[in-house]
Structure 1
Amino acid sequence: MIDFARYRGRFAPTPSGPLHFGSLVAALGSYLDARAADGQWLVRIEDIDPPRCPEGAASTILRQLETFGLEWDEAIMWQHNRGDAYQQALDQLIQLGLAYPCSCSRKQWQAFDIYPGWCRDGVCDANKPLAWRLRSDRGESPIRWQDRLFGDQQFDPAELGDVVLKRKDALWAYQLAVVVDDAEQQITDVVRGLDLLDNTPWQRQLQSALQLPQPRYLHLPLIVTPEGQKLSKQNLAPALAEDEQEVRQQLFQALEALDQAPPQELASEPPATQLHWAVANWSLLRLSPTAHRLNPPSPPAGD
């Protein structure tokens, strides 16, 4: 049982590369929300997809968090050694009739917006490798919850489709792993980017089916490029700064991106000083739901 009076938050990056500015804003938002509530802040490394996780990336991420003064409270959880817990949850869903094996490939159903559920009543081709999917047509509908920034949310899981829980290559999928691990770490508050908002219905459906507590959710506005694209590793967002002065400036810019209106003189202060001010002044009321657009770099002098 989770004690919701005792705040426990987390930052859970996938170690597919170093953190960028968008990652920093998400980490900082979750950190400040936890510390302002006199709560605990944990780090979980979501490394369940080894092909996407180059060697050394996780260590780089942890070093980056330390550089920006974001210190965690407990031992880091690594998803790569959590397979037994995920299998136990999947077995429970199978017994409940909420998970089923699926032989279909994305190429077969790419003409549809979502997977059509062809294997719900029996595997189409038992000779092919099988994934396991969640039945989105069973259980509560619509899924409703109150986001702490974006307010009342309502999704029909059937319109989102039957999400994969375990892949054909036997690797675990994000939706099941995150639900099991949030419960294991007794997370009361999930603070993350808006791009994960539409993942929440699947996660709440899984929490309900597995009789796990349902955290509070705060989805932060995205950081986008000058062209309006989400800042991400896929569009080659640069890694966070390492130079001391640049770290100070970048942390200050992250506070600005979270609409916390830090005083300008704070920009030259070390991370510990900036974070001390930010925790004392953290206000969700200041936070705008509008995406934060990065300014293009200034042209070199003389151009």
Structure 2
Amino acid sequence: MDETEPDWDLYRSFLAVLEEGSLSGAARALGLTQPTIGRHIEALEAALGRQLFIRTPLGLAPTDVAQAMRPYASALAATAAALRRTASEASDRVAGVVRVTASEVIGVEVLPPLLTTLHERHPDLIIELVLSNAVDDLLRREADVAVRMTAPTQEALLVRRVGAIPIGLYGHRRYLERRGRPKTIDDLAGHALIGFDRETAWLRTMAARYPYLGRERLAFRATSDLAQLAAIRAGYGIGACQVGIARRDPNLERVLADFFDLPLGTFVAMHEDLRTSPRCRAVFDALAAGLADYLAACGGTPASR
């Protein structure tokens, strides 16, 4: 084992191979050549004295050691990205990179106009938008600002509760004309229902309150809420949708409004150490204000002051 501490570039290539499954894929992801990635992996293996990958017909398979190293390499990558964003900070103006994370539907359907207005106000601001339903760790600076649909629990975070976005059941007019409009909850038994494939905290809450929407009743299951929204818009069946988003499409009709009403809590959060960062504070405040306006426009419940 080499006593020299491996260079960060070696770990960066290692993580890329882990994520891409091949030297060629890692090279494309990092903008390097395949031989360079290969040399990095060989150098890291020599420095650590351990084999990290096994060649298979399907590509490079990580060893147990490599899998155990994955979370630490990911943490290094997040730290390096946070360092770059911090270095881009201008001392007295809103400029530089801010990494924002949000759920797929919020990130695609709600945030773009808010971020556009923000960019027009601060043209030197660069936004990196991460669309994920997973909760990125703000404490480890995997993101600077997060829009979350569950209340963050970490103590070192600055959190603003925006309020609750109304959620309703919707179907495309074409589907409802073909299959009929349900008048009661029992009528849903004769309909194609759309929902999540994997259980989430919000899904557990919904299933407990509305057992007729349990996973076993679903005719279309998707891990992606964007895929569910697309299925509703395509006329596949009936599914849950934000009222504000559904109102944009005259072909989407709300059903069983008196029976189904499940507000979705909305929060904006960032690490408390970033409260003095002009760029992060500008994004935090703009998202909180913009989401509050969105919530008010769709009849949501604002946070109590």
The structure with the greater share of residues assigned to strand is: 2
User: Which protein is bigger by CA-based radius of gyration?
Assistant: 2
Task: Calculate the TM-score normalised by the size of structure 1.
Answer: 0.23
Task: Calculate the TM-score normalised by the size of structure 2.
Answer: 0.23
The structure with the greater share of residues assigned to helix is: 2
